[in-house]
């Protein structure tokens, strides 16, 4: 494929996505315009490279399938030259990754060359044997309540013992359907574990790569919810879906797309309602508060945080919501409300009980709390208190979250500037300026840009101040929202 063809494909996908086209429509257009095999079209429509697709297959199968990108490419070309016939297990795993049915990934050319036994499996709508889990993507059949089981007469003339027997057989048939599920308890447990892993990974790994993995996992859960499972399993799946949507909402905002983040958060709230899960409601509300704050809607940020605080929760979400209220009030210059919110955060931290259901991004430990406290103190005029709080947090706590560490250092640098210690500003900021562009998320860009403006407004900084402002401008110009694509 030439470079111009790849560019044309990217432009077509972007245009159809902007027009609100469904993925199936994008796939159909790719196949028509570029004569693609179905597996390649679904991969490109899903926004994955060959290597990303291979990694996703390895993940969804728990390592039982571990292809390389070149293997995915050969499977896509089959039955053409230099290709390899994909196994049913690989097709099943790809269907989970792309959020489609196995049958969608094959066409008549595939069927002609496929062994008859495999054709029968496909035609029967069998689930993938790849995942090793009870997770077929096909929709569950309708319950058989209104129809008689096979071999049972449904004539209106049934009466007496025959009618009673038929009614009992119908009840048994419905009970069999009600007990059936497209997901087993082990699979649900694994999905919850994968959700926790995404929340942890986002704190330390490439944000765009984690975004893609999170989206693939969310689509997999959405696909399962379109099938049939017990009410308890459905609640667990809605809980997974809600946290994954909240993760995608947070990531979207961090990558410079707050409006898209709000859409994800609204879907996360719906999932929280369907799961009837107070902790999830509170964490989704906290995500909505964060997005509103970085979008400049401070009153909305306060309202979302207050709404989340109404739920009886475990873990650290109550602390986080109070910190977010303090953050928004301090930006509004309301010192009294900021102080009250910080006091509520301290009380909630003392009363916190139990572990957070997911953790990672959805956890507010001592270091994260100190970061919020320091920035709130700085905005309400206590530069020395902000400096001491930020420095103590950096000296006392260890954290793997590069984002929270960078925010704390920016606050420390701003506090030094307010205290007219220009040399300390540079030393506090140097580790932040060393962050790679992929980790320069939108909130960090906004905060360090504010620091640059404050630096320009203060006289007496001299040449070091000019050099630092130049370094800040260069840092902001090569940030994650500008650099990281979320499609091929």
Tokens of 136: 């077929």
Residue 312, C-beta contacts closer than 8 angstroms, at least 6 positions apart: 278
Residue 406 pLDDT grade (very low, low, confident, very high; cuts 50, 70, 90): very high
Rounded-to-integer distance, Cα 463 and Cα 465, Å:
5
Q: What share of the chain is helix, strand, coil (3-state, %, to 5)?
A: 70, 0, 30
Tokens of 131: 């995942």
Higher pLDDT, 230 or 374: 374
Q: Which of 51-55, 126-130, 222-226, 284-288 has the highest mean pLDDT?
A: 284-288
Tell me how crowded residue 315 is: count the other CB atoms within 10 A of its CB: 21
Rounded-to-integer distance, Cα 244 and Cα 160, Å:
54
| C-beta separation of 352 from 402 below 8 A | no
Rounded to 5 degrees, φ, ψ at 276 are 55, 55
Tokens of 240: 């997974």
Residue with tokens 């029968």: 120
Rounded-to-integer distance, Cα 190 and Cα 173, Å:
30
Burial grade of 422 (CB within 10 A; 0-12, 13-18, 19 or more)? middle
Alpha helix ranges (H) inside 226-365: 231-254, 258-275, 278-294, 298-308, 317-331, 335-351
pLDDT digits (tens, 9 = 90+) for 297-350: 999 999 999 999 999 788 999 999 999 999 999 999 999 999 999 999 999 999
The DSSP code for 104 is G
DSSP notation for 36-61 = --HHHHHHHHTT--HHHHHHHHHHHT
Q: How many residues does the chain have?
A: 488
Higher pLDDT, 292 or 486: 292
Dihedral sign for Cα 373, 378, 380, 384, please: positive
Tokens of 291: 């997005």
Residue 461 pLDDT grade (very low, low, confident, very high; cuts 50, 70, 90): low
Dihedral sign for Cα 56, 60, 62, 66, please: negative
Start-to-end CA distance of the chain, whole Å, equals 14
Whole-number pLDDT of residue 488:
37
| C-beta separation of 271 from 233 below 8 A | no
Whole-number pLDDT of residue 182:
73
Whole-number pLDDT of residue 460:
54
Rounded to 5 degrees, φ, ψ at 359 are 80, -165
Mean pLDDT of 357-367: 94
Tokens of 410: 């920016």
Using a pLDDT cut of 90, give the percent of the chain over it: 57
With H, G, I as helix, E, B as strand and everything else as coil, classify residue 359. strand
Q: Which of 28-37, 114-123, 132-141, 401-410 has the highest mean pLDDT?
A: 401-410
Tell me how crowded residue 454 is: count the other CB atoms within 10 A of its CB: 14
Rounded to 5 degrees, φ, ψ at 364 are -120, 90
Rounded-to-integer distance, Cα 336 and Cα 316, Å:
24
Burial grade of 433 (CB within 10 A; 0-12, 13-18, 19 or more)? middle
Q: What is the dihedral of CA 317, 318, 323, 328, to 10 degrees?
A: 100
Whole-number pLDDT of residue 39:
95
Which residues lie across from 362 on neighbouring strands? 359
Whole-number pLDDT of residue 467:
86
């Amino acid at each position: 494929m030439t470079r111009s063809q790849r560019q044309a494909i990217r432009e077509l996908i972007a245009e159809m996505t902007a027009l609100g086209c469904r993925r199936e429509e994008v796939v159909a257009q790719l196949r028509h315009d570029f004569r693609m095999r179905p597996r390649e079209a679904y991969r490109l429509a899903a926004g994955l490279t060959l290597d990303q697709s291979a990694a996703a297959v390895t993940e969804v199968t728990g390592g039982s399938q571990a292809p390389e990108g070149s293997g995915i490419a050969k499977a896509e070309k089959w039955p053409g030259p230099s290709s390899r016939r994909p196994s049913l297990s690989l097709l099943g795993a790809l269907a989970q990754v792309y959020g489609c049915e196995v049958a969608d990934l094959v066409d008549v050319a595939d069927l002609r060359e496929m062994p008859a036994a495999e054709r029968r499996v496909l035609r029967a709508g069998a689930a993938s044997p790849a995942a090793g889990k009870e997770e077929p993507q096909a929709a569950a059949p309708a319950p058989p309540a209104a129809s008689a089981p096979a071999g049972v007469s449904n004539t209106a003339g049934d009466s007496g013992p025959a009618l009673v027997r038929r009614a009992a057989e119908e009840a048994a048939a419905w009970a069999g359907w009600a007990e059936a599920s497209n997901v087993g308890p082990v699979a649900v447990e694994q999905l919850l574990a994968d959700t926790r892993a995404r929340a942890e990974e986002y704190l330390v790994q490439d944000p765009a790569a984690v975004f893609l993995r999170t989206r693939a996992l969310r689509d997999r859960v959405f696909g399962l919810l379109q099938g049939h499972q017990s009410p308890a399993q459905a609640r667990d799946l809605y809980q997974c879906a809600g946290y994954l949507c909240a993760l995608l909402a947070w990531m979207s905002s961090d990558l410079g797309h707050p409006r898209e983040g709000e859409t994800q958060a609204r879907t996360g709230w719906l999932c929280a309602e369907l799961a009837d899960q107070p902790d999830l409601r509170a964490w989704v509300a906290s995500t909505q508060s964060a997005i509103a704050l970085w979008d400049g809607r401070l009153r909305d940020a306060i309202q979302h945080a207050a709404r989340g605080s109404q739920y009886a929760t475990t873990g650290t979400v109550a602390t986080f919501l109070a910190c977010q209220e303090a953050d928004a009030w301090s930006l509004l210059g309301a010192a009294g409300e900021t102080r009250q919110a910080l006091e509520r955060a301290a009380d909630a931290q003392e009363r916190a009980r139990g572990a957070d259901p997911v953790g990672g991004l959805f956890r507010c430990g001592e270091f994260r709390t100190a970061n919020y406290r320091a920035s709130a103190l700085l905005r309400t005029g206590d530069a020395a208190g902000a400096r001491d709080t930020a420095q103590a947090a950096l000296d006392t706590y260890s954290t793997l979250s590069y984002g929270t560490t960078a925010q704390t250092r920016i606050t420390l640098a701003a506090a030094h500037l307010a205290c007219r210690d220009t040399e300390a500003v540079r030393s506090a900021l140097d580790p932040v300026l060393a962050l790679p562009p992929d980790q320069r998320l939108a909130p960090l860009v906004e905060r360090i840009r504010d620091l640059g403006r404050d630096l320009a407004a203060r006289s007496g900084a001299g040449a070091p101040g000019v050099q630092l402002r130049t370094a800040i401008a260069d840092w902001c110009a090569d940030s994650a929202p500008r650099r990281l694509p979320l499609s091929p």
